[in-house]
Amino acid sequence: MYVAVKGGERAIEQSWDLLAKARRGNPDIPALTVTQIREQMRLAVSRVMSEGALYDETLAALAIKQAAGDLVEAIFLLRAYRTTLPRLGTTKPIDTAAMRLSRRISATFKDVPGGQVLGATYDYTQRLLDFALLAEGETADAAAHTALPGEVRSEVHSEVTNDTTLAAAHGTSAIPNVPPIGATTRVTDIMKRDGLLEALGTQGADPEPHDLVHSPLFTPASRTARLQNLARGDEGFLLALGYSTQRGYGNDHPFAGEIRIGDVSVEIEPEELGFAIDIGEISVTECQMVTQFGGNQDIAPQFTQGYGLAFGHNERKAMAMSLVDRALRTTELGDEITSPAQQQEFVLYHSDNVEASGFVQHLKLPHYVDFQAELELVRRLRAEHAAKYGTQTHGNATDAATQNTQEAA
């Protein structure tokens, strides 16, 4: 049965050579460097880090280069590498309220403490191809820099110069009448203060998070397990599910309470020290969606929330994650499960693109024995069908020829 794969080791090695040549492309064109990918494809790097569950921009860029731009394959590579690393410790929860902001918007209130910070986003572009980028080198870069806006509007402002960014890092403002960019009050905190948003119900203490690396996922899962699963889930899958909740497959009508992008400090607390120390910063994207909740006899009408957090500049993923998180809270809020996005088992077990990719692509491996069994079954059923109904089944001659060929082989 496995004559066809005899001598496969040599063929596989040659396939590796072909892959390397295909990845490199035309050798007359300079090779794309890992540094270039890291610095100029930051959104792809952010996705690979988030879904690969490893914060390392250089390794994520390396994985993208090795995968020739296939982000799901790059995520697989990074996730596989992460499994070889020892766990040296556990960090303390990051404080996103103290985030050094590069982007911060709210769709619920026009005027928020600290102001709306547009930052770098495609939201206000025309989505037209910029043919100036075809000019390689300094010409295109210079054109891009001269196109940056310099004015500040009354409701919103954007960091547009290196001086502004530097001033923000020091808690000051280089633009008149613009508040310093730094720790700002969350919109959701304001709503909680007025009793309009649900309390987290943790009595001031964070629950012990589930560890998907060391503990398998079972449903029904705790919210910490669900959030961890969604944080490394496939962006496209979560985007589709979040979209479905807005089209009627669910009871949500969400509002973007706040979206934050910026840098946060990471701290660990070594046992020998007994106090926390800052080991560096990471860039994250945080999204809090708010949704109307009718309440019940114990709870007055208020807003509930969904939460999303992802590595790097990963806005679409964080938004989709927060939509799905809210949908998965249906049972605990007393609503009826009516749509796929509200079903824990369906969402959590199918959101991991590494597992999904592996299961789908394993169909490319030899299944000769299994198929032969299926083939024999179909032949027997066809024979029984012909005997029962006394008719000639189309394709018998072809089946016979196929069987003779296989027996000869």
pLDDT in tens, 293-308: 777 777 778 888 899 9
pLDDT tens readout for residues 250-296: 767 788 989 999 999 999 988 888 889 999 999 999 999 988 877 77
What is residue 309's predicted lDDT score, i.e. its pLDDT?
Answer: 95
Average pLDDT of the residues in 148-173? 37
What residues does 289 pair with on adjacent strands? 256, 306
What is residue 157's predicted lDDT score, i.e. its pLDDT?
Answer: 39
Residue 70 has pLDDT above 50, yes or no: yes
Residue 407 has pLDDT above 70, yes or no: no
Report the range of poorest mean pLDDT among 82-96, 114-128, 367-381, 383-397: 383-397
| Measured distance CA(165)–CA(167) in Å, rounded | 5
The more confidently predicted of residues 246 and 168 is: 246
Structure tokens at 402: 């196929």
pLDDT tens readout for residues 353-393: 888 988 998 888 888 899 999 999 999 999 999 988 876 55
Average pLDDT of the residues in 26-46? 93
The more confidently predicted of residues 399 and 322 is: 322
Q: Are strands 116-117 and 156-157 parallel, antiparallel or unpaired?
A: parallel
Those residues whose C-beta lies under 8 Å from the C-beta of residue 205, and which sit 6 or more positions away, are none
What residues does 280 pair with on adjacent strands? 266
What is residue 213's predicted lDDT score, i.e. its pLDDT?
Answer: 80
Highest mean pLDDT among 287-291, 332-336, 400-404: 287-291
What is residue 159's predicted lDDT score, i.e. its pLDDT?
Answer: 36
What is residue 151's predicted lDDT score, i.e. its pLDDT?
Answer: 35
The more confidently predicted of residues 12 and 162 is: 12
H-run or E-run covering 286 = strand 277-293
Residue 111 has pLDDT above 50, yes or no: yes
Do 284 and 256 touch, CB atoms closer than 8 A? no
What is residue 25's predicted lDDT score, i.e. its pLDDT?
Answer: 87
Q: Are strands 254-268 and 277-293 parallel, antiparallel or unpaired?
A: antiparallel
Residue 80 CB neighbours (<10 A): 12
To 10 degrees, the CA torsion angle through 128, 134, 136, 138? -40
The more confidently predicted of residues 170 and 31 is: 31
Average pLDDT of the residues in 310-318? 94
Average pLDDT across the chain, whole number: 80
Instruction: For helices 71-82 and 353-361, give the axis angle rounded to 10 degrees.
Output: 110
- Give the DSSP letter string of 52-72: HT---HHHHHHHHHHTTT-HH
Percent of the chain past pLDDT 90, that is, above it, reads 35
Give the strand order in the sheet containing 302-311: 156-157, 116-117, 100-105, 254-268, 277-293, 302-311
Average pLDDT of the residues in 182-201? 76
Average pLDDT of the residues in 4-17? 74
Confidence grade of residue 199 (pLDDT, cut at 50, 70, 90): confident
The more confidently predicted of residues 158 and 229 is: 229
The more confidently predicted of residues 188 and 54 is: 54
Confidence grade of residue 394 (pLDDT, cut at 50, 70, 90): low
How many residues would you count in the chain? 409
